[in-house]
Structure 1
């Protein structure tokens, strides 16, 4: 059974060229492992295209934008307008599927609503002035959440992800809703994140993610995938705060790394992002005939 990858037009051409080149390389256990590792890294970079572009802009504007000098356009407004242009370019040049744009839009709205509340509560601040904002929140900030949604949607099709023992969809929606509400309610009531961690484990501990890199399918517990993704987002957040795009209360005088406690917050946010993606791309199991398919047979199908 050939995986239904839903590649964009450009991705189909890149995929075909990569298969023609890589499939002709000598077969050996070591070379196979190196090719899988190389393709895994390239696919991850492709999935991070939107988020990587945004991080690059944060770094460049930190170096190039005169501090306290708005000029003709403020730094935050430049980031906002650039994010819109990047998003439009990705759709026009078919670097992104329209289904992913839906996820990005939803995640943008969800993230912006949380940003407005969190900045009002003093959790973090945006220290620079700008025009395109809601309350104290510059509109570019929503695109930082959208970048997470973009990544989650893109890896789903780029790696042809299949999920075995995925919990009933309604239970994941309830969990995601509880997580989102707790991001707000813990400022007034008890913080139930430990209960949410337990609920996450109870729902997903049996779920296994199967994904294709090049010749082979690999598998990983979904909870581990959540943790690894949250770790990389935490690293990206450290870059964001170093660039002074936003600041936590303990970073006003001098930059310090973001607290490891935020890793748990990003871990929970992974649940919300995954659930949003599954509402657009319903989870597909890794079925029996896929398991019986040999790597050689899969290669032939991929090449045709």
Structure 2
């Protein structure tokens, strides 16, 4: 992230009448918090512009905000901004390239510089924290913040820091979170909404705890389509339980794999050894301690787990 790129972004925000915001598929709280928080911020900064957010709706995170119905014609002479997405293959809504200019704003290690401007800062906890920092870089301070913006950015920061338990939580993270909390929103209610689960999903969590495997300080579980149907849970909702086994004594890393029909989505987590390079070898990527990968057979999944065990031993 350079001063020149921030200045150019600010110029483009001033000059374009339509701004369309994208983020990654299978959105988490930070993807939605940064996208919808930035949307609300831009609406306050530019009340006469058309500011749109596109992507799939996720039921359990609908409380963060809703998506817009974006038409193909909206992309004509539009500025497109993609948030919280390291590589173009993971961008939700393939029309992101139809605009006049493309900006990437992200905090993941830079896998692909697909934007005309790439504003990437891997030192921040989340893209939501980065949006708050950009507001300061624009020179506006808190002038354009309000309760709606603060609420959305806060939930994004909380999501990517694991409620401030992960090691990506810095003094600056806490400073920004404290600033956002000065606005009048019920953060306790919001955190409860984020962690709320259906009865079926809680039964599913019990299945996970009973059936995961553990060898060589690595935990792993493979959720088949039959199991998803048995517990009436979607693949996306199942993935919310990726950290269910994280408190096992001695565990260093784990894989939570879900069969999505044409592919197996493997979420990889680690407490010590970086695993984003491993994820990149399996059609994925992400943070050093939290990444995702995609494999296409059980055998390939077993190979990934084997390599994870080797990574932990190094």
Measured against the shorter chain, the TM-score band is under 0.3
Q: Which protein has greater RCO, CA pairs closer than 8 Å, 6+ apart?
A: 1
Give me the TM-score of the superposition, normalised by structure 2.
0.26
Give me the TM-score of the superposition, normalised by structure 1.
0.26
Structure with max Cα Rg: 1
More helix, by proportion: 1
More strand, by proportion: 2
